């Protein structure tokens, strides 16, 4: 069990300093960091991005120029140019003569490696200059006895300042020599079906491609290395899931009387998806293990009702529930939308924020600890040390696509036997859902409640801003409200984006001081809250904002959404912003203003938005257009950065990895079998240390 406490010794050479590899000194090691390479293991997983065919030929005659050529030649005379001109060496192949050209070269060095009359094997790019064939700075110059050092197909690696192809190849050869046999962690049946080589053989093949087909992501060696990454990640998630389920839960079974009170006063019938999801949550809460469920729903799918029903199950069972939101604006809004339902059920609902101070805060904490407050709404501050519940059964975490697996593990380690429901209004493509939430059970709200007004989406050039302003005047005269979203807070020299501050000043000039509010991420919290409250209560008619209003803000009277420079936003983000309108009875419009000319990608994105309101379809398209990192935002999401695996194109591989990881956990929950020990080494290799510690904690 020692492996649970520290990296196995067999892996030490792969985590040694880069300077232990051939050709890397302290300065070069610093340069490699530009590629994200800090250890020999990182170097092994930095695969070639291309290749050069260096098949031997007898002559450059018949070669399509410019083109690569590898051939044996006889060295002729050296011609040094006067002044700063190039240094030329005449050479003869089997059929014709041409020149080697060197700039800023040392004549003495060239005479040493290319003595006149000698035979040499050279390889490089041949091009025509003033009708004369020449090879500038050959990549390889070797005596025929050493020519085998030139590979027939040479890999090309990604580079960074201070790192050359030759240095990279030398360091990788040195790293490959120390790759140990770690055993096989892949299911033998799967490896056989796929025809995948073992780990060291896959590394060797990936770094020594025979031709272009070996560089394809579907090539056996590369696919196997991609699978290793996906599988390790899914095992880490499965361990987190196992730890969460292994944590003893509290059985919470409600009799439904509070839920029925809410359903009796609802002005609409819940959708089939809402009823199904509440049943799934109720079934989880009734088990003696902790619930760990993700609730995904598109804009306007009715997550709030489902969340409150879940909280009522906790209360019916004699316990308490808490709902956490990422911002105080959202927490305030959740509280406002839950108050009528809580009143109809006769449930004591309270809100706790950073603004609660002194005696008022102490009174709330005392009521919470005594069990008088049955449902609490707040930001993540509700998990502070001085906050104690009488009997907390359910924690709902809202909009946690910013909250990675690591944080969920930490939350689970707080030792509370609390059921966990994570909600997101951001439709997540299936691939990313598997990557991000593979440790959770997933409920999807895929129907919209009746009565949501479809939003008309229009593309409009920034040159037609006067028409937009007139549309706004008419709507406001008719009692409506509008959002105006800008991409940046201040004018930026890098991106010529109209700033929220500047747009706010202009609209205030046009519509009057008290009519326009402003909210963006750099404002003090109190100012943001005040601006939102003024807009929600109708005191201001236009709210100028950055994307802080993207998630969850609910103002039914707002029927116009203007998104300035919409080409700067991602599809999912635009869809979220559009979802802020169409919440009331008035016909709603989303105006996507852009600055022509539009690039192909931006045009495709904006046209798709006009075509559909299906957030899941848009999320898949966004993934195809922008890639995984941009869609979720890797820095804040806990989304892993894979070196080999490609999330956009290897969905099936990810699904296989999840199924395999879960099957392995069912068979070998503490990874004690021979394959289990190999999986432990894989987790250490790919730096999933925290997951390994879950085994020892379990």
Nearest-CA neighbor of 590 among 600, 601, 576?
Answer: 576
> Any residues with CB less than 8 A from the CB of 644 and at least 6 apart, and which?
45, 47, 222, 225, 226, 228, 229
Q: What is the pLDDT of residue 637?
A: 41
Answer for the pair 681, 8: CB distance below 8 angstroms, yes or no. yes
Token pair of 484, please? 């105006």
pLDDT, position 579:
82
Identify the segments of the chain with pLDDT beneath 70.
1-5, 244-247, 399-416, 426-439, 449, 451-452, 488-498, 548-553, 616, 620, 622-640, 696-698
Question: Which one of 562, 586, 612 terminates a domain?
Answer: 612
- Give the model's pLDDT for residue 549: 63
pLDDT for res 249: 75
Do 292 and 439 meet the contact criterion of CB atoms below 8 Å apart?
yes
Closest by alpha carbon to 554, among 537, 574, 573? Answer: 537
Residues 298 and 371 in one domain: yes
Looking at the fold, whether 466 and 587 belong to one and the same domain comes out as yes
* Domain-located, residue 118: yes
Spatial contact of 628 and 432, defined as CB atoms under 8 Å apart: yes
Tell me the three state secondary structure of residue 560: strand
User: What count of other Cβ atoms lies within 10 Å of the Cβ of residue 521?
Assistant: 12
- Residue that is written with structure tokens 């709330």 in the block: 364
Supply the pLDDT for residue 623. Answer: 64
State the pLDDT at residue 639.
53
Residue 401 lies in a domain: yes
Q: Does 418 lie in the same domain as 477?
A: no
State the Cα angle at 421 between 418 and 422, rounded to 5°: 130
Ramachandran angles phi, psi of 586, nearest 5°? -75, 150
Per-residue confidence (pLDDT) for residue 578, from 0 to 100: 87
Residues 492 and 369 in one domain: no
Same domain as 414, residue 529: no
Give the chain's domain count.
Answer: 3
Residues 467 and 574 in one domain: yes
Among 563, 587, 612, residue at a domain's last position = 612
Closest-CA residue to 691 (of 187, 289, 242):
242
> Is the pTM value of this prediction over 0.85?
no
- Model pLDDT for residues 4-57, shown as the tens digit of each residue: 468 899 999 999 999 999 989 888 889 998 888 999 999 999 999 999 999 999
Per-residue pLDDT at 635: 34
Cα dihedral sign, 640-644-647-652: negative
Q: Cα dist. 445→77, 234, 296, 452 in Å?
A: 78, 24, 6, 15
**Within this chain, do residues 395 and 518 fall inside the same structural domain, yes or no?**
no
Q: Which CATH number fits the domain that encloses residue 318?
A: 3.40.50.300
Containing structural domain, residue 607? 455-612
CATH of the domain at 128: 2.40.50.140
Extract the tokens encoding 11. 């892996």
25 in any annotated domain? no
* Chosen domain end from 559, 593, 612: 612
Taking the C-alpha atoms of residue 486 and residue 492, their distance in angstroms, rounded to an integer, is 12
Residues 6+ apart with CB under 8 A from 506: none
């Amino acid at each position: 069990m020692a492996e649970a406490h520290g990296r196995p010794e067999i892996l030490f050479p792969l985590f040694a300093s880069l300077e232990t590899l051939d050709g890397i000194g302290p300065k070069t090691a610093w340069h490699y960091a530009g590629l994200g390479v800090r250890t020999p293991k990182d170097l092994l997983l930095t695969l070639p991005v291309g290749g050069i065919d260096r098949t031997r030929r007898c002559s450059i005659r018949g070669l399509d120029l410019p083109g690569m050529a590898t051939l044996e030649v006889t060295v002729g005379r050296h011609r040094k140019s006067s002044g700063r001109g190039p240094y030329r060496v005449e050479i003869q192949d089997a059929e014709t003569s041409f020149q080697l050209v060197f700039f800023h070269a040392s004549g003495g060095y060239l005479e040493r490696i290319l003595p006149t009359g000698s035979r040499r094997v050279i390889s490089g790019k041949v091009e025509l200059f003033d009708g004369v064939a020449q090879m500038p700075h050959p990549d390889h110059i070797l005596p025929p006895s050493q020519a085998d050092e030139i590979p027939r197909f040479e890999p090309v690696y990604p580079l960074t300042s201070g790192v050359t192809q030759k240095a990279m190849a030398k360091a990788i050869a040195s790293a490959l020599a120390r790759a140990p046999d770690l055993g096989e962690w892949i299911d033998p049946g799967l490896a056989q079906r796929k025809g995948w080589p073992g780990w060291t053989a896959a590394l060797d093949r990936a770094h020594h491609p025979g031709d272009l087909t070996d560089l394809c992501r579907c090539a056996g060696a590369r696919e196997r290395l991609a699978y290793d990454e996906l599988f390790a990640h899914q095992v880490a998630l499965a361990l987190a899931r196992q730890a969460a389920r292994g944590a003893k839960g509290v059985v919470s079974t409600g009799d439904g009387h509070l839920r029925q009170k809410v359903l009796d006063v609802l002005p609409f019938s819940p959708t089939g998806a809402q009823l199904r999801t509440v049943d799934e949550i109720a079934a989880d809460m009734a088990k003696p293990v902790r619930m760990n469920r993700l609730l995904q729903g598109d804009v306007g799918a009715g997550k709030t009702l489902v969340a409150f029903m879940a909280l009522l199950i906790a209360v019916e069972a004699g316990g308490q529930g808490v709902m956490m939101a990422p911002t105080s604006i959202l927490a305030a809004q959740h509280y406002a939308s839950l108050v009528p339902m809580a009143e109809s059920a006769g449930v004591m609902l309270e809100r706790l924020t950073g603004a609660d101070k002194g005696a008022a805060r102490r009174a709330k904490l005392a009521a919470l600890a005594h069990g008088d407050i049955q449902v609490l709404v707040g930001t993540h501050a509700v998990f502070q040390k001085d906050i104690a519940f009488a009997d907390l059964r359910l924690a709902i975490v809202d909009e946690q696509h910013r909250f990675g697996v690591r944080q969920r593990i930490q939350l689970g380690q707080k030792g509370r036997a609390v059921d966990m429901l994570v909600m997101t209004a951001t439709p997540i493509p299936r691939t990313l859902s598997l990557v991000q939430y593979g440790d959770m059970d997933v409920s999807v709200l895929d129907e919209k409640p009746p009565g949501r007004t479809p939003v008309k989406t229009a593309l409009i050039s920034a040159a037609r801003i006067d028409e937009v302003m007139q549309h706004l005047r008419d709507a406001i005269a008719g009692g409506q409200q509008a959002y105006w979203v800008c991409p940046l807070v201040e004018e930026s020299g890098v991106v010529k984006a109209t700033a929220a501050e500047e747009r706010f000043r202009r609209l205030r000039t046009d519509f009057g001081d008290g009519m326009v509010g402003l909210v963006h991420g750099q404002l003090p919290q109190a100012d943001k809250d005040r601006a939102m409250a003024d807009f929600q209560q109708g005191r201001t008619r236009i709210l100028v904002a950055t994307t802080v209003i993207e998630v969850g803000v609910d103002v039914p009277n707002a029927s116009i959404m203007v998104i300035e420079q919409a080409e700067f936003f991602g599809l999912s983000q635009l869809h979220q912003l559009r979802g802020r309108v169409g919440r009331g009875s008035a016909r709603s419009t989303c105006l996507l203003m852009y600055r022509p000319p539009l690039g192909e990608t931006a045009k495709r994105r904006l046209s798709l938005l006009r075509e559909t309101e299906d957030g899941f379809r848009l999320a898949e398209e966004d993934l195809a257009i922008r890639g995984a990192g941009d869609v979720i935002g890797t820095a804040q999401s806990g989304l892993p950065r894979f070196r080999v695996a490609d999330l956009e194109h290897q969905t099936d591989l990810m699904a296989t990895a999840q199924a395999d990881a879960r099957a392995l956990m069912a068979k070998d929950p503490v990874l004690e079998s021979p394959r289990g020990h190999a999986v432990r080494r894989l987790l250490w290799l790919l730096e999933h240390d925290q997951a390994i510690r879950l085994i020892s904690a379990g």
